[in-house]
Structures are given as C-alpha cells and as structure tokens.
Structure 1
C-alpha cells in the first residue's frame, strides 16, 4: 500500500525525474509535465558528490551514470601565473560512503537523458511542451491540475520540481524567490587534456576562482567565477572574447581550454543565486522540491545532490506510508529542511568570504564540516 496512487510532477530536471523513477517503480501512476518542448540538449557539465551517486544507486541508474561520467578522487589547488603550480592536494570526504567515488563529473545532457530513460522504463509518462498553470484543492485528498489552462484531472499529489523560477511555488503562494549573491560564472564545455584527472581550482588573479572538472574521457567543463556583472544579452562572440581575456592569467590546462574557445567552444554566463523556503514546503497536497525549494552557489557542488535527496526522501515516505498526513510532512521537513539550509548557508558563506576579501577564513574547515554532514544518509 502506498500513500498515493496518482501523482503529477512539474519539471523534468534531476529532482523531478528522480521522484518519478522511485514512485513509478512502486506502482504509482506518474505524469511528468515539462514546459520545454523536449529534453534540453544544452548545458556544460555537472559536478556530483558521493551522496548524489548514492541516490543514483537507489534509483537503479548508477551503472548507466557511472559509465557516462568521469569518477575521481581528491581536489587540486593551483596558483595563477607561469606553470600553474599545484599548491595543495586535498582529499575528498566520501559523502556517499566507501562504495562510491568521492566525486564525479559528467555532461548535463547525458545525465538528463539517462534519468529520462529510467523514468520512462519505470512507467512514468513524460509530457513535453506542457506547462502546469493551476492547482486547486478538491477536499483534503485530491488536487485538480490545470495544464495549459485546461483541466488535466485530479491527482493525489502534485510535486513542483520546476526549478529556480518555479510556477508551482508561485501558484501555492510561497513568496520566497532566488536572490543574486553578487557573483557570476562563465562556463564552457571543452576537450579534456590528459593531465586533468580531477577537479582543479585556481584562487587569485583577475577572477575569484578559475577551475575545471573532467566529465568524460574526452571532455570537461571549465569555469571562471567573477563579481556579478550585467553580461546578459552578450553576443556569442563577445562571450568567448571575455572568457578568453579573463583566463589569460591562468596557465597549465587553461592553455588547452583557450585553444578550444578560440576554435569555437561556446561560453555562457549566469549569476549565482540563493534561497531557502522555510517549512512547510507543502500547501496541502502540493509540495515543492529541488531548486524550487532551495538554491545556492555551486561552491561545494551540492545543489543537484540536495534536489536528489529531496526526491528520494519524499518518494520513500509516500511509498511506505498509508496516508499523506501531517506525520508524513513533519518527517519530510525534519529530514530535508535543516540539511538543505546548511548547504545553502555554507555555499553562500564561501562566496561571501571572497567578495569581502577575508583572507583568514576557514574554508577547508567549512567544506569538511558540510561533507561530513552529507556523509550521513538523508
């Protein structure tokens, strides 16, 4: 017996598809509504910590994801300037436990494709080009869902996993929204030099952080973190030029990255944001998870992992209880809100120390503390 028989999910990101997989595997009828016309093939790479990999295993998708990504151990810090010398080699905490790599990089489109495939094989119905536009309670046990302004029927639960600018969050009257942190990031997807075998970060120079993460045998993504500027609307040509110019202080593998940029690799720009919705994340039979409920800078690479944990915990409760009652919601919030809040606050603090020019901040201590916390399953 499950607490729900029919569930609608807004959004086909990692949190939404993870929830769809687990619920469909348990025999729940699942409809995923994605406003975009198809699964996005765009995007650079993503860094995934061990606790995210542990969730993929629970979903049954770990073997496919491991084959498509690049697992690695440890983190190197390099100095800007000639030769880009390695100044520190830091071990990673295995947040997923001893059975998983400490971290892994992979192309975002590949991750999306694998999760979609597993959701559909589990029996979830994924509808592209369909936008949720309304939710109305029907008593205490049902929600009427409106898609493209027309009724799509009643559901036992609606899950809003529709990202930073969540429509579902707005529909249920939650006013919290992502706010800029003051930092912006340039990203590009390029070839991987053989010497890059793990994430490497450069502190100092013209930007706050210059770094890269391997995502496959032949690929990696590279990034530059700067003070937020109005870069939106920048042409592709100017975006490439800016990223090239800002990276010239960095040697080593950055020479290969610049060669790929000059050969036509695309550069894109976004701002870092932060928000955390105070509990409850639900309003009756509608609940938000993932980026709809919390967002943070990728300074400790826990954003996707937190959305995945939201989905796994919610699905666990829905498939092991008989009712969607207050006890279920209390346990969900107890297991998720403090953990997500810790990640958001730590991620923002790391960036704020750089914005404020704090030189004696205990960055390793903060990162290690969060990693130890994440090593305990949600």
Structure 2
C-alpha cells in the first residue's frame, strides 16, 4: 500500500480548519500550523448564510453551530429611526433544509472548528508558521519557525488576507482598502431582535445588528475608512455610542449596553481577487489568501468555506495532484468568487458615491439566487 498523502495547512482560521478536517477524514495526513498561540479565538460576531452552513454540515459541525448560534430566515431593512421598511424572507442559499442565516459569536465558531480539527486527528502546532519553502517535482520541503522541517505533497496557504505564504511563492496581489471602515461590538440581545436589520443612512453608511444567541448579538456601524490607530481605547466606546445615537428602534438599548472598550473593534474593508493562478507548483491559496470582499453581502466566510470544500473534493477524488488539478480548482471557484467580490464592492461604492437610486435590493437578490447553486 502506498504511503498516505501529506498536506500542510498554513493558517487555522475558518477555511484552514475546514480543509484540514475534510482532508483528514479522507485518510490524508494533515499538519496544521497557526501563528496565533491562542488559535485566533477572538472577534465579535459572524453572519453565516445558508451556503456557509452547507459546508459546515459537510465538515460535521452543523449540529453544534445550530445549537450555539441563532438561526433565522429574514432580513429587515429599516429607516435610521427604526421604522421597518421591508422584510425579505426565505433567502435559503444552502437549501430548504437549512436556515437562511445563523449568527454566532466568532470565537465560538472558531472553538467549534478547532474541536473538529483535533477530533479528526490533525497534528496542530500553535504559535508556529512557515519560515521557508523549497519545492521540487514531487513535493515541498518546509522549514517552520519552531526550527523543525517537514516534507509534504501539498501546502495549502490559508493564512489570510495578508498571507505571507502568498508573497513567498511570488504571487504579487495584495488587499486594497475600499474606503470604508467598520465598528463591531458585542452586546446583549434585546428580546425583539430575531433577525438581521440594516439601516442605510444616518450618521453611518450602514447600521446593522445580528442575533448570535439567546442572550447575545453583534452590532456594526460602517463609516468612511479612517486611521484609528491613535485612538485611545477608552474613546472607542464614546465613538460607537456617538454613531449609534443616530439610530432608533433597538439601537437605543444596544447603545446603552456599549460600555466595555474590549468588546469594540475597528477594521477597514478590503478587496482582493488574485486574477492569475492560485497556486505555484504544489502550494495553493485558499480563502482570504486568494480573495477578500467587504462584508456588505456577509459572504466572506462562506466563500472561504466553499474553497475548502471544492479543493478537498478535488484532492480526495484524484490520484494526480498537479497543475491541471489545481487549475481546475481555481476555474471552479473564480466565477462565483468574482461575482461576490465585485457585487460586495459595488454595494459599498454606491454608498460612498451617494447614489440614491441604486438597485441594492435587486443586486442582493440576484447574488443570493446564484448562490443557491452548489459550488
């Protein structure tokens, strides 16, 4: 019997964890390295739409996600004062047997996936990443930052939007800011919050919230991208409360609960789409290392999870791992990813440019309809 194939997954985020589980379950030997010593168990909340849930079911964690998150089937559009303008129902992109959306705390999703990685028998090293790569026709020799070396049939770079592995293999693409920034906070869930509601306009471009559990939600406020590096932590609460004061409805209760600066974070929106090959030899990009979209469609995690599913399917059903197979992976993913990246950016661009007659509901609806198809 030939020896088992070996894969190194670089990055233990959503896509890296999912890929590691899917490959290991198929009998492939998998090592996973993650530079963060705490395995990235941080963040506020995450919106998981049906096509993301479909992949999480394949990974084997859907039951825990359902139990520990908050599922719902509607999206509300409101005026800044809280008046409900429209409720869209039934956007079940994962199929009729899955809810349209599940919100959950991002750290909890990471714990669920990390538990699945460990249970699958993946060898995990935290606080460690790749220092150097050397390829030949048969595989990749890797030197890690802990001083060890390994030999692998394939390296999957799932190390995020600022992927050092992407740069190391000579792919020059880098993420570009789109001009928007987002404040995210965690807060208690008002009893009346049972879905995502979005308000366009007011002090921010977008003000929204998503229930993440029986007692929790995360809320977000989108503004022009600013340099917030010098902002004292105690001012973060003040800044969020100032923006939130311009919104009615449930925002009053959410605003009053924002008191802890450690529960507030601020990041910029970025876009990235690697237009050329997503691999060099036997090193291949996955998730945010290959594409990043602003969260205006809440599809970033879903696109990364779909990458993991498609790549795992190809690797586990083909004996030859070569340029042809890895090119096929990119060709399957590119049209879908391009649509999501471009449509996500377009929604933000309309807001930045103040386009009042933009057909945002139509663009969202067309995108969600397309995503009902399996990747």
Band the TM-score falls in, shorter-chain normalisation? over 0.9
Equivalent positions of 1:102-251 (< 5 A) are: 102-137=100-135, 139-148=136-145, 150-251=147-248
Check 1:3–1:355 CA distance in 2 against 1; reply closer, same or farther (3 A cut): farther
Q: How many residues are aligned here?
A: 375
SS in 2 for 1:94: coil
Equivalent positions of 1:307-346 (< 5 A) are: 307-346=304-343
Does structure 1 conserve the Cα–Cα contact (< 8 Å) formed by 2:128 and 2:146? no
Q: CA RMSD in A?
A: 1.5
Q: Which residue of 2 aligns with 1:36?
A: 36
Cα separation, 2, equivalents of 1:302 and 1:132: 28
Cα separation, 1, equivalents of 2:97 and 2:302: 17
Task: Point out the more displaced range, 245-254 or 326-335.
Answer: 326-335
TM-score by structure 1 length? 0.96
Q: Does 1:58 align with 2:58?
A: yes
Q: Which residue of 1 aligns with 2:75?
A: 75
Cα separation, 2, equivalents of 1:362 and 1:267: 32
TM-score by structure 2 length? 0.97
Does structure 2 conserve the Cα–Cα contact (< 8 Å) formed by 1:33 and 1:131? yes
Shift of 1:149: 7.1
SS in 2 for 1:299: coil
SS in 1 for 2:231: coil
- Consecutive unaligned residues of structure 2, counting only runs of 5 or more, are none
Cα separation, 2, equivalents of 1:210 and 1:77: 10
Check 1:2–1:36 CA distance in 2 against 1; reply closer, same or farther (3 A cut): farther
Does structure 2 conserve the Cα–Cα contact (< 8 Å) formed by 1:279 and 1:333? no
Check 1:200–1:135 CA distance in 2 against 1; reply closer, same or farther (3 A cut): same
Cα separation, 1, equivalents of 2:172 and 2:276: 13
Cα separation, 1, equivalents of 2:310 and 2:42: 29
Shift of 1:150: 3.5
Cα separation, 2, equivalents of 1:38 and 1:265: 17
Task: Point out the more displaced range, 260-269 or 313-322.
Answer: 260-269
